[in-house]
Structure 1
């Protein structure tokens, strides 16, 4: 591994392991994004995947929110759909529409045409280069988070061909072609494990797995086609890192909408369970505390459309509900493109003040 500057702010790492902290660490999913004018200026000159594939540009937009807000982590700018690209599928980012697969998977026989054993360093080397560059540019200010989409979420896009309210085509596969679906999910799982381990080798200090479409699955379907693969990723990544002599790289899982599976997720090897805004923090704490898991989240991003006072009140309630230890403050989903930067600042600043007060009184 490359020699990097020592970490000056390890609040997020300590909170992820439920260790003592001076205040609750805070960051925001999609903290680098279209709500920032400076991000829009970069995107006006470069298309989305050009930014992802150019380490200097990916580094720049990763660092942009840290220049505005007192955040406790950076998350590398990339996209979950780089994995299907590495497997040989074309993905386009269409303005106003989002990701589009010109040739989605129509029949299970097409799985055979995918790259079954991709050279991760070759196919996704630009991500690792961006991580290494960003880690150096951070100069130890905060930890750098790497990430990947989860197998089911990636499969959903690969079969559906883009975003969808129901992902009915992808869900149909699970019941029409269960064995072939498992083949695809296994391929994705093995690729994701390699991808995440290589992100750590490149400089990532924390990892998050996004199961963005967990909420469209029922509990039994989630257990069969999502949970077991999420669990394998956590255990597989931890084993490979341990074999490399690498420790204290917390793993976060964000299974949006999987309120029914908090107990099962808490039984996996993830250190942190990230919550969407529909889950009561106190209930989540009751479920996860028995397994010693930290929690992340879970302010409704729509709260940031409110007044500074309403943001302040909602954030205080969130901090108090989660308590003084084992919590990483975040939104329950990513920043929306039309939110104002000042609203995120109000959230971040309130987390700082409210959590210090909470710790003092605990």
Structure 2
């Protein structure tokens, strides 16, 4: 067992394990060097390149887990969706009608994105730390499919859900099945934990999330069983922690907007992951470490996996990340502090 897997299963650990969302990417010079030769999709779709990018931060920092280099949009092209990155995902033709939904394919298990499963197999053999697989939650994937690109609040998508609930249900059902198959493929290939990214759940009110988000997230997580720890992330969603607490997940990843000790009371029995503000990594190492200590103190009282409240920002200094990781490992957690 590893300290990361112990914490994810709800066990006491001597220190908080640490990994960072988007720990592989543009802030690392070795990634930028590789990016000069290969496009984003080429790196995602070439297992050897995906493994190399995944391992770059693990070689540089003493991280406790490696998350596969990929994108939540990866299973959508096999469904018949044309996606480009500019730099965020942009769809040539958004999904807006019942016929659009009907046209989407649901590839068979094992045929969805075989290059991802191969990357996980290679990574499991090469990584010195546990491998995390991931997928986008059905509600978040539907957000991009209907909206067609970036948005501050995805108001058009929220309106579409209420105006055409029949098409919405059909779309979410298809995305749920694809997500289940996609994550099962990753687990079968060797992923030792999985994270379900519900990045846009927080733009919905409790009624909208309860109608269109929660049931599909539950179906995905239930279908995976407890073969590996299941991590659920919903950004800007502290108003939804009541229903989120009912999900069959071992870990809930918390963004930076609320301290962990407040969130723990609303998410009983779950390990917490998070929740340093990524913006602090754009300051000085001293300020980042001070912020980490605040998070670590707030995370006492139960199992805690240290992470950011969202992904590493491109302008982050790798030296600051190095200081941060060391500071997390040096912060002691006693048995009495953890409540388990």
TM-score (norm 2): 0.96
SS of the residue aligned with 1:254? strand
Residue 48 of structure 2 corresponds to 56
Q: Distance in 2 between matches of 1:123 and 1:233?
A: 16
Residue 29 of structure 2 corresponds to 37
Matched, 1:154 2:141: yes
Q: Distance in 2 between matches of 1:159 and 1:118?
A: 20
Residue 132 of structure 1 corresponds to 121
Q: Pick the aligned partner of 1:66 from 51, 58, 65.
A: 58
Give the Å deviation of 1:360.
7.3
Q: Which runs of 5+ in 1 are unaligned?
A: 1-8
SS of the residue aligned with 1:45? coil
SS of the residue aligned with 1:83? coil
Q: Distance in 2 between matches of 1:42 and 1:276?
A: 30
- 1:213-263 deviations in whole A, cap 9, x for unaligned? 11211111011111111111111111xxx6xxxx3x100000111101212
Q: Distance in 1 between matches of 2:284 and 2:307?
A: 18
SS of the residue aligned with 1:253? strand
Q: Distance in 1 between matches of 2:230 and 2:108?
A: 24
Q: How many residues align?
A: 337
Matched, 1:316 2:308: no
| Off by >6 Å, runs of 4+ in structure 1 | none
Q: Distance in 2 between matches of 1:58 and 1:317?
A: 34
Given that 1:153 and 1:214 are in contact with CA atoms closer than 8 Å, whether structure 2 keeps it comes out as yes
Matched, 1:198 2:177: no
Given that 2:94 and 2:146 are in contact with CA atoms closer than 8 Å, whether structure 1 keeps it comes out as yes
Residue 271 of structure 1 corresponds to 250
Give the Å deviation of 1:120.
3.7
Residue 194 of structure 2 corresponds to 207
Q: Distance in 2 between matches of 1:299 and 1:65?
A: 18
Give the Å deviation of 1:361.
7.3
SS of the residue aligned with 2:36? helix
Residue 336 of structure 1 corresponds to 313
SS of the residue aligned with 1:147? strand
Q: Distance in 1 between matches of 2:56 and 2:273?
A: 22
Residue 296 of structure 1 corresponds to 273
Q: Distance in 1 between matches of 2:247 and 2:301?
A: 23
Given that 1:26 and 1:329 are in contact with CA atoms closer than 8 Å, whether structure 2 keeps it comes out as yes
Matched, 1:114 2:104: yes
SS of the residue aligned with 1:346? helix
Residue 77 of structure 2 corresponds to 85
Give the Å deviation of 1:314.
1.0
Q: Distance in 1 between matches of 2:221 and 2:35?
A: 34
Q: Distance in 1 between matches of 2:109 and 2:39?
A: 23
Taking only aligned residues, the RMSD between alpha carbons, in angstroms, comes to 1.4
Q: Distance in 2 between matches of 1:324 and 1:107?
A: 48
Given that 1:281 and 1:322 are in contact with CA atoms closer than 8 Å, whether structure 2 keeps it comes out as yes
Matched, 1:348 2:325: yes
Matched, 1:102 2:92: yes
Shift of the 210–82 alpha-carbon distance from structure 1 to 2, 3 Å rule, reads same
Give the Å deviation of 1:42.
1.2
Deviates more, 1:196-205 or 1:117-126: 117-126
Give the Å deviation of 1:324.
6.0
Shift of the 233–361 alpha-carbon distance from structure 1 to 2, 3 Å rule, reads closer
Q: Which runs of 5+ in 2 are unaligned?
A: none
